[in-house]
Structure 1
Amino acid sequence: MSKLTVAIHKLTSCSGCQLAFLNQGEGLLSLLERAEILHFIEGGIYNPECPVDIAFVEGSISTPHDLERVKAIRSRSKLVVTIGACATSGGVQALRNFSQLYGKASSMKLQVYARPDFIETLDNSEPVASAINVDYELWGCPVSAAQVNRFLVQLLLGTKAKAEKEKLCMQCKRQQIVCVLVTKQAPCLGPTTRTGCGAMCPAYGKACYSCYGPSEQPNCRSLANRLKGIGLVDWEVVNRFAQIHCHSPEYRKEIEYWAPDSKK
């Protein structure tokens, strides 16, 4: 079986999803038996212009340079796979897309950078799919080694990679984890979140933050009303949906609806 050629690219991100490759330890050696990595700066391999079978892209499109790079990546890759919240939905940095709610974008720069006049960014932080055709998306903040390996094995076997869309609540039930939304009145986003993390937070009695993003057909409005019912005010509902995947259409709709100046 011939090896897949792979490139791993980083746009605007924290580099956390690339660790899904590096943190495997001995598992990385098994991965290299099935795939040849031609570009991966985090791993010390620099060849950004090489054509490959699969290009994994981490990070959102936040700068003009990001936009140029991602278009070039698309032209050199048979498959483009986005990994992580930033690449799939814009990530935490997409909060600046809501400058009308959280303050002007210029004031945000002042709070982060000593010399914001040196920072060149696009008006919005966008997912990769807003600019190019994406073949597959691996959601998560961060993605896991198991996700990446399962995806590669499916391709090597000649099958269509299966997207994880099941709700986190189903994983909680199978693991017999007590529902924190019901028993603790915790503001859990599990009912609208896709599985993938192993229900880590509820397993420790904590509310889900939706690290893996919206599930298939999430009823966000119903959950938002339930959060209101356990005592959250409008701004708290907004902030709950705005934490990681704020630019996803499902969560963005709730953010804009529950913002204090919106007309419900």
Structure 2
Amino acid sequence: MSAVAHPPRLAVWKFSSCDGCQLTLLDCEDELLALAGQVEIGYFLEASDRELPPPYDLSLVEGSIATAADLERVRRVREQSRHLVTIGACATAGGVQALRNLASLPEYQAVVYARPEYIDSLDHSTPVSAHVPVDLELRGCPIDRRQLLEVITAYLADRRPDVPGHSVCFECKLRGTTCVTVAHGTPCLGPVTQAGCGAICPAYGRGCYGCFGPMETPNTRALLPLLRRDGVTEADAARLYRTFNAASPDFADAARQADEEGA
């Protein structure tokens, strides 16, 4: 007797994170209702306690790898998933918590926790791709709902998702937003940050602060003199590059350069 075919099975996994990227999926509302008829939710504790056995056709993974349990679990998720897509700055670049990579973990634990001896953490917060193969990284803090829906529907249709690799500057031009740096001297990471947010911050007169991480082949060091011209100190430039994507190699490189120039 042949096995009964089931719809593509979707799983959503949380590691070390704030849940914001999972909430982006839940906030899709009407689109989520239409999507629910096309997929079978195999695992998504943010939405339901229902759990179906693997394998999963598409796994969305939120959060960085910050504990030994995370490391063991993400390897198991990879084994159970046909496609694995990381969502958000934590999963793709270690997240805000990767700032601890810059100092001693015991020092952080002693400051934050009354009983640090009960805390079991790895020395570094790292992206998922540092430990298992990843099919696609979806950037943002949080991710953009339009990009998320594009990724899910693309995998349902067995095609590659159309996720841009160009900078936020392109999005400013597409929506007719005046460049805040040229017009007002506002510091902005738009030239080196990947598009996807819709250039929300520049549209409201503030500079991009890089929550989507680096674009393809960014020249992050070259932006440092421009940031200084607009009144950003070397220390502030380093903090700007480290805010959401501290473990991203391109942003980390520029932050180190800013530290050296400010020493």
Structure 1 and Structure 2 fold alike (TM over 0.5): yes
CA shift digits 1:186-243 (9 cap, x unpaired): 2210000111111111000011111111001111111111111222221111011011
- 8 Å CA contact 1:38, 1:46 repeated in 2: yes
- Equivalent residue for 2:158? 158
- Aligned-pair distance for 1:106? 2.3
What pairs with 1:1-264 in structure 2 (closer than 5 Å)? 3-47=7-51, 50-99=54-103, 104-260=104-260
Which has the higher mean CA deviation after the structures are superposed, 225-234 or 202-211?
225-234
CA shift digits 1:65-86 (9 cap, x unpaired): 0000000001111111100000
For residues 110 and 184 of structure 1, what CA distance do their matches in structure 2 show? 43
For residues 179 and 85 of structure 1, what CA distance do their matches in structure 2 show? 25
For residues 227 and 262 of structure 1, what CA distance do their matches in structure 2 show? 13
CA shift digits 1:152-195 (9 cap, x unpaired): 22222232223321110011011111111122222210000111
CA shift digits 1:127-165 (9 cap, x unpaired): 000000111111111112211211122222232223321
For residues 49 and 62 of structure 1, what CA distance do their matches in structure 2 show? 26
> Cα–Cα, structure 1 residues 49 and 14, in superposed 2: closer, same or farther, change >3 Å?
farther
Which has the higher mean CA deviation after the structures are superposed, 245-254 or 151-160?
151-160
Taking structure 2 as the reference length, what is the TM-score of the superposition? 0.93
- 8 Å CA contact 1:256, 1:262 repeated in 2: no
- 8 Å CA contact 1:155, 1:161 repeated in 2: yes
- Aligned-pair distance for 1:110? 2.8
The aligned amino acid for 2:81 is: S
Matched residue SS, 2:37: helix
- 8 Å CA contact 2:141, 2:211 repeated in 1: yes
> Cα–Cα, structure 1 residues 2 and 38, in superposed 2: closer, same or farther, change >3 Å?
closer
- 8 Å CA contact 1:38, 1:45 repeated in 2: no
- 8 Å CA contact 2:150, 2:162 repeated in 1: no
The aligned amino acid for 2:248 is: S
Which has the higher mean CA deviation after the structures are superposed, 185-194 or 156-165?
156-165
> Cα–Cα, structure 1 residues 30 and 110, in superposed 2: closer, same or farther, change >3 Å?
same
Taking structure 1 as the reference length, what is the TM-score of the superposition? 0.93
- Aligned-pair distance for 1:48? 7.7
The aligned amino acid for 1:18 is: Q
The aligned amino acid for 1:211 is: C
For residues 131 and 8 of structure 2, what CA distance do their matches in structure 1 show? 25
For residues 229 and 163 of structure 2, what CA distance do their matches in structure 1 show? 33
Q: Which runs of 5+ in 2 are unaligned?
A: none
Q: Which runs of 5+ in 1 are unaligned?
A: none
- Aligned-pair distance for 1:45? 2.8
Equivalences, count: 259
The aligned amino acid for 1:23 is: D
For residues 64 and 241 of structure 1, what CA distance do their matches in structure 2 show? 27
